[in-house]
Chains A and B, each alone.
Chain A
Amino acid sequence: MSTLTDPPKEQFRLSMLLYDTRYRSATIQVIAMFGFMLLAAWLINNTIINLNTLGKPVSFGFLGETAGYDINQRLLDYDNQDTHLRAAFLGLLNTLVIAFMGCVAATIVGVLVGVLRLSSNWLVARIMTVYVEMFRNIPVLLWIVLIFAIVTESTPHPKVYRGVETGAVVVTNRGTYLPEPLFSRSLGDVHLFGSSSLRFDISLDLIAILVVLGLSIFASIKIRQRADRIQEVTGVRPRTWHTRAAVLILPLLSLLIALGFHLGYPELKGFNFQGGTHLRNSLLALWLALSLYTAAFIAEIVRAGILAISKGQTEAASALGLRPNKTMSLVILPQALRVIIPPLISNYLNLTKNSSLAIAVGYMDITGTLGGITMNQTGRELECVLMLMLVYLAISLTISAVMNWYNEAVKLKER
């Protein structure tokens, strides 16, 4: 303090920390900082004492132990001798799958319903209103449970297909089977991360297909740009759709033939269908419930977004001679999007967070694995809940970062 009281020009008094606006903000900040650190220290101190009393010091060693339970719906290979970390990793992938599927479906249904609520058809508009109100005003947990029960009760038992020729898609009360893509001359897999818990196999076939597709799209864009240039110079647009279609389809087709692409159909063997891609009922029910629930909110957002565009915009577009389709895509939608996107982001986030209710239907997402069976078996509540929170936080922050970036891109550029 003594050094501070010395400045030659102005005498520093302690009370200036409070009354002088130059110092006051610093004082408040220091107090806030100190208080915050004290609170944090207090919590951590309590935690350490309590955990010592319980004899459970913080340790993440349990992640390396054998999990011992099975996960039915999974993207990667796993059996009950794998570690808890592997189980958590698969759970995380399952969360991402349901979040992605849910967001896509919710957007499609939501936009459709939002537009239909403005439909001139009285009955349809009313039904959509009833749908929106039903879903918005009943808790999502109830919807998940109810839809799970409805999906199970309303689909046939696999045994009814016994002796019946089944097609490519089979709907049963254990889930829906879709044909799976198979390659008879497969290129094999890339194995990432060796045999660790995070090992990850990527099919080289898939990579090859994606690369070819990417190149084709690039070529197609180049062709279109060339056509644009020619049109600008000569005023005549060359017909390019056939070359572009050929560029898109032919390389892919030849690659698929080279790889020996065919579809694997599900077949009834024993108790259940084997083969094909199995979407279990828990996944379907959760997907339906989450996307229908969120779609009700998105519908309202879309409706509000469209209503927010003044009628003058449509009239001006017609006056310019734009056709209704072009009016929608060039005038209404770009403006409505600006209103729609920010609330849409928070609905995507809500859907992702609500996917943690998967435990209600036994879909093994990260809450079901890390925050469910693993936590039960190991008794490591602190570590599991902490990891769970961090994972969701990371997902939420990523989604909002990506969507905010997109929002910036479509935002009105004011000059």
Chain B
Amino acid sequence: MSGTHAHTVAYVRDTMLPEQAPPASEVGPIGWMRHNLFSTWVNTGMTLLAVAAIYYVLAGVLPWIFQSVWNADSLTECREIMMETWGSTHGHACWGVIKERWLQLLFGFYPPHLYWRPILALVLLLAALSPVLFSDRVSSKMLILTAAYPFLMPFLMWGGTIWGPLSAALGFVIGYLIIKHGSEKLGELGAMIAGVVAAVIWWFVLAGPVTDALSSALPIGIEAVQSRQFGGFMLAIMLGVVAIGVSLPIGVVLALGRQSDLIIVKYICVGFIEFVRGVPLITLLFVASLLLNIFLPPGTNFDIILRVMIMMTLFSAAYMAEVIRGGLAALPRGQYEGADSLGLNYWQAQRLIIMPQALKISIPGIVSTFIGIFKDTTLVSIIGLFDVIGLASAIRADTAWNGIYWELFAFIAALFFVVCFSMSRYSMYLERRLKTDHR
């Protein structure tokens, strides 16, 4: 073909031209900007608007953050320094308050020489969660720590004798042993009932005297800290962790109850879930601070932090139940049918087939519930607890810092942002990972 053409056409190029560089306006930063910022008139307008907005915000905020006073013991001193340095007290932050109070904002009134305990509790929490959250990277032997953590954490935070948490743990061990070894004699159901009854008897009747006897005989323990001394950001983390941790089993029970065929059980569960989800958290906190003592037998007196923990737990249990219900609903019908065809009974099926999968699907939902609860802990400042926001008001009631405003809120907002943002990023990572698992 080419041969015949060669005769008729005067000139044919027989080598490829080298690729030309694309026009300068299409590559590099300029090309990128043309494509991503100025592709149409509308886009150009939006870009200019956005740049103006960014400039406006940064021009206001950056000087305030960086042209600021760190070394001052009171607002008055701050203002004097500002007048000397910049000739005006406006537009400059007074970070002296954070410098003086940051430990208080983080730990509340927790005794300073015991700060290692909440820090250790937090580190252990991350370690205990790692086999669940990063199951692909961490050995499952760490699960022992996960099981021990619910008893370790109260011991570290509240201190006192070590026998309290140990005897609480013993209740679970007793129940477990009876269920495991008693099923041959008593039958599965009988063993389960016997186990639960034995554990309850242990906790409510025997544990108290035994703990007292042991702690007087062998006084092993660390300095006790009253829950009234919890505060600041630590309180928010505590409330969030306790509420989510305790509400997880309750949420599982509620979710199962809601899906159950037993009509009365179902309606009790639905009633509880819908009631709690239908009212704002602040009303539940009012119950904790004003009414809980009225509902309990006369003379019982929990301190307010425990009462708030109880109500926050009930609150998160309802949300948790819905998350887990979502996980249950997402399981293919075949899993249930498969369990039935293997001849597993209800509890076996739940324990071996349904729950492991449903809980795994629910983890992103649980994490976002946690973020929600964690942010909602700020509401306890309204009932007079000293979380970060409550402490901020208390600090502003100090004669030295009365009148300070933005610095405290900026610090608090930054704290929350860092923690919640990293958790939500983690949750996204998890969702992506779970998605690939399904393929």
Contact = CB atoms under 8 A, between A and B. Distances in A.
A in complex with B? yes
Interface string A25-62: 10011001100100000010011011101100000000
Nearest to A395: B278
A360 interface: yes
Nearest to A133: B421
Contacts of A139: 375-376, 378, 416
A380 to B, nearest CB: 10
Contacts of A141: 378-379, 381-382, 389
Q: Which of A119, A124, A134 has the most chain B CB atoms inside 10 A of its CB?
A: A124
A392 B279 contact: yes
A96 interface: no
Interface string B271-295: 0001101111111001100110111
Nearest to B417: A137
B424 A136 contact: yes
A32 B261 CA distance: 13
A18 B190 CA distance: 9
A356 B46 CA distance: 36
B47 A353 contact: no
B283 A385 contact: yes
B283 A36 contact: no
B424 to A, nearest CB: 6
Interface in B293-321: 293-298
B291 A32 contact: no
Contacts of B416: 137-139, 142
Nearest to B49: A124
B352 interface: no
B54 interface: yes
A382 B50 contact: no
B50 to A, nearest CB: 5
A136 B405 CA distance: 22
Contact of B279 (A29, A133, A353): A353
A371 interface: yes
A146 interface: yes
A102 to B, nearest CB: 14
A115 B190 CA distance: 58
* B: contact size bracket: 35 or more
A29 B424 contact: no
A46 B294 contact: yes
Interface string B247-281: 00000000000000111110010000011011111
Q: Is the interface of A mostly helix, strand, loop or mixed?
A: helix
B51 A123 contact: yes
A119 B274 CA distance: 38
A138 B420 contact: yes
A25 B262 contact: yes
Given A46-B297, A121-B36, A136-B424, A146 B413 contact: yes
Contact of A19 (B36, B189, B262, B295): B189
Interface in A372-400: 381-382, 385, 388-389, 392-393, 396-397
A222 B422 CA distance: 56
Contact of A136 (B51, B280, B297, B420): B420
B278 A43 contact: no
Contact of A134 (B46, B283, B417): B417
A359 interface: yes
A208 B291 CA distance: 48
A357 interface: yes
Contacts of A49: 297-298
Interface string B382-408: 100000010000000000000001100
Interface in B310-334: none
A296 to B, nearest CB: 11
Contact of A121 (B43, B262, B417): B43
A119 B44 CA distance: 13
B374 to A, nearest CB: 8
A50 B379 contact: no
Interface string A108-148: 00000000000111111001000001101111111001100
A396 B389 contact: no
Contacts of B53: 127
A393 B275 contact: yes
A61 B16 CA distance: 97
B290 A385 contact: yes
A360 B390 CA distance: 12
Interface string A6-33: 0000000000001100000100110011
A385 B282 CA distance: 10
B86 interface: no
A20 B64 CA distance: 74
Nearest to A356: B280
B413 A142 contact: yes
A120 B39 contact: yes
Contact of A47 (B50, B294, B381): B294
B301 to A, nearest CB: 12
Given A32-B268, A43-B295, A127-B50, A389 B279 contact: yes
B389 A142 contact: yes
B339 interface: no
Interface of B: 35-37, 39, 43, 46-47, 50-51, 53-54, 187, 189-190, 261-265, 268, 274-275, 277-283, 286-287, 290-291, 293-298, 371, 375-376, 378-379, 381-382, 389, 405-406, 409, 412-413, 416-417, 420-421, 424
7 contacts: A18-B190, A46-B297, A137-B371, A145-B389, A357-B282, A385-B290, A396-B279
Interface of A: 18-19, 25, 28-29, 32-33, 36, 43, 46-47, 49-51, 53-54, 119-124, 127, 133-134, 136-142, 145-146, 149, 349, 353-354, 356-357, 359-360, 367, 371, 381-382, 385, 388-389, 392-393, 396-397
7 A-B pairs with least C-beta separation: A137-B420, A122-B36, A396-B278, A353-B280, A139-B375, A356-B280, A393-B278
